[in-house]
Each structure stands twice: as C-alpha cells, then as structure tokens.
Amino acid sequence: MSETSSSPQRMEDFVQMSALLTGFAAGTIAPSLDPVDLKSTLFAAAEKGAGDAFDRLLDQYAQLAGGKPVSQMTPAERQSIGESLLGLDGQPSDPQTTATARSVMRLLYLGYWYPIDGSAGAETVVSDQAYVRGLAWRAMQSHAMGFSTWSYGYWASPPPPLTDFTGNPAPAPPADAAAEVPAGTAAASLPAEAAAASTLGQGKGGQSPADLVGGR
C-alpha cells in the first residue's frame, strides 16, 4: 500500500509489537530463517483491514518502544506499553487503534482478521498458513486442528514444555496476580460468577457451538 508498509523498520515494529502483545518471542513470530514469511501476510492483512488505524498503532508502538527490542524490556516496560496500546491504562486513547491492537492479537493467535468495527460474522481467514501457524495452538502446546507437526501416537505422551512453543523463558509471575489463577482455584471460586454468566450469556453460549464449529 503505502511506502511505509514495505519498510523494514515498519515490519520490525510490527513483529516486536506482536511479540509484546501476544507473549511469544519475536523469533517465533518471524523466524530468522523463514521459508513461509508469514509476517508479511499478517502485516498486509492488518494494513488492509485497519488502514490508517494500523499505521497509527505502529507509530504509537515505535514511539513507546523507542527502538528497544521486547526481549530487552523489563516486565514493567512491557506491561506499560501493552496497556497503552490496548487502552487499559486509564489514559485517553484512540478507540480505533486499541481495536486494531486487539484484532492484531487475534490475527496472530488465530490467523483470522476480525474487523475493527466489531461487526459480527465478518471475520475472515487470512491464509492457510496464517491459520495453521496460529499462536493459540502453541499456547496449548499443540498444533492447529488439521495440521499435526508430529507423527503417530504423540498423543499418548505429554507435549514438550511451553517455553519450546513460545520461544520465551517461562513467564514471570504476572504483574497483577489475579491475571493468572492457579489451576484448581478457578473451579473453586467460580460458581456464583459462572451461574451469572450462564444466565447473561445464554444467547452467545447457545449459539457459539453451532456457529463456530458445528455439530457433527
């Protein structure tokens, strides 16, 4: 599109911002030896989908990061930049760029582009490679449904450690401890909320199974 779109610096900003928002290493998102070149596909999809808002988001990220790679940032720096990009820091924010940041996260995680205006049912799969390389599957230490990277019987043994999938060291405890509920306690603490959710969310909950994956 614009000249900025093809600039190596712009791409580098995109990869670094993606690393910060997704929690995956930049080298996982854009390997140094990259026969698929997914980053270019994703960049183009975000640019096409969000236009100027994507440009502004990259500008904002470049300014906040000041050229520092995510891998060299402190957890507090990452937290601060992420909250700014997503409009979680209580400061005035541009709803278009914060929505774009969320769409970029889902783009990386799922390979889908979700329109930033939030229109339902308008999401599209960016490419076959974008789908099979979605980070959501790596976050669960598995592979995209329809794209096994292992051979017969792997499912009878536990997967390799999470750090192998993220390319990052094991995460430090979250800045806000509530962000990560230890396994088990979630179940114990949920009944009231879950009951409320099941009332409030009846529409969504009922529709999502069929609408997203369908019965069989």
Partner 1 sequence: MNGKRYDVVIVGAGIAGSLVARELARRGKSVLILEAGPETPPTNRETYLENFYLAAAKTPESPYPPLEGSRPSAEPAPRATVADTFGSNVEPGWPEKVQSDPDAFIYDPVKSYLLQKGPHPFASTYERVAGGTTWHWLGTSLRFLDNDFKMRSVYGVERDWPWGVDELLPYYNAAESSIGVAADAATQERELGEIGLRYAPPGYQYPMQPILTSLVDEAVTGGIGGATGFVGFEGLGVEVTPTPQGRNSQPYANRRVCAGNTNCIPICPIQAKYDATVTLSEAKQAGAELLSQAVATRVVVGENGAVAGIEYLRWQRDGSGTIERTPGTAVGTLYVLAAHAIETPKLLLMSRRDDQGALGHGVANSSDQVGRNLMDHPLYLSWALFDDKAWGYRGPLSTAGVESLRDGAFRSQRAAWRVEIGNEGWNFSIGDPWTTVGDFVLGTNASQLNPDTRTLFGDALVAKLNDVFPRQWRMGFLVEQTPEPGNRVTLSTDLPGGAAFTDGLGLPRPVIHYDLSDYTKLGFVYAEIFARDVYRRMGLRCYTQNPKEIVGRGGALVANPTWFPLAPEWRQVFASLPPELKAPEVTNLPAAADGIPEGFQYFGAGHVVGTTVIGSDRASSVLDPAQRSWDHPNLFMVGSGNFPTITTANPTLTLAAMALMAADQIAKQLG
Partner 2 sequence: MRATRVTTGRALVSCAAAALLLAALPLACRTRPAVPPPPDVAAGGGGPVAEGTTVDIDCGGTKQPVTVGTELPRLPTFQRVITLDSLQCDFDVFSWNSFLALSHGLDGAFGDRGGDNVTTWEVWPNEGDLFRPGGAEPPEWRAGHPPPRTPVPAVCEGKGRPGDRVLTQIGKQPLLVEAALEPFESGPLIDVHGRYARFGITMNQPFYQYVRDHGLYSRAGQQAFAAGGGRVEFPCGCDPDPSGASCPPDGQQGAIMVKASWKVLDTAAGDDPSRFHTTQALVVTPATESEPETCERQLLGLVGLHVVTKTQTEPQWVWSTFEQVDNVPERGAEEAAGRYNFFLPGCTDCNAVNEPPPQPWDPHLQPVRANSGKSQVVRQIPIPQGSVEINEAVRPLLAGTVWQHYELISTQWPTEGPGQGEPSAASGWCVPLNPVDESGAPAPAFLGNSTLETYIQGTVPQASSSCINCHLNATLAVGQQSFSDFTYLLERAQ
Binding footprint of partner 2, residue count (CB under 8 A):
36
Contacts (Cβ under 8 Å, ≥6 apart) of 21 = 82, 85, 86, 101, 104, 105, 108
Distance of CA 84 to the CA centre of its chain: 16
Convert residues 4-43 into a mask of x (bound to partner 1 by CB under 8 A) and - (unbound). ----------------xxxxx-------------------
CA-to-CA distance for 39 and 200, rounded, in angstroms?
A: 38
Which of 94, 117, 164, 180 touches partner 2 (CB under 8 A)?
A: 164
Which of 35, 72, 90, 212 touches partner 1 (CB under 8 A)?
A: 212
Helix (H, G, I), strand (E, B) or coil at 180: coil
Which of 36, 64, 73, 86 touches partner 2 (CB under 8 A)?
A: 36
Residues 98-127 that bind partner 1 (CB under 8 A): 102, 105-106, 109-110, 112, 121, 123-125, 127
- Considering only CA atoms, give the Rg of the chain: 18
CA-to-CA distance for 104 and 127, rounded, in angstroms?
A: 15
124 scored as a contact of partner 2 (CB under 8 A)? no
CA-to-CA distance for 47 and 56, rounded, in angstroms?
A: 11
Partner in contact with 10, chosen from partner 1, partner 2, none, beta carbon below 5 to 8 Å by kind: none
CA-to-CA distance for 207 and 185, rounded, in angstroms?
A: 28
- Among residues 30 and 101, whose Cβ is nearest to partner 1? 101
Q: Which residues bind partner 2 (CB under 8 A)?
A: 6, 8-9, 11-12, 15-16, 19, 25-27, 29-36, 40, 69, 71, 128-129, 132, 138, 146-147, 149-153, 160, 164-165
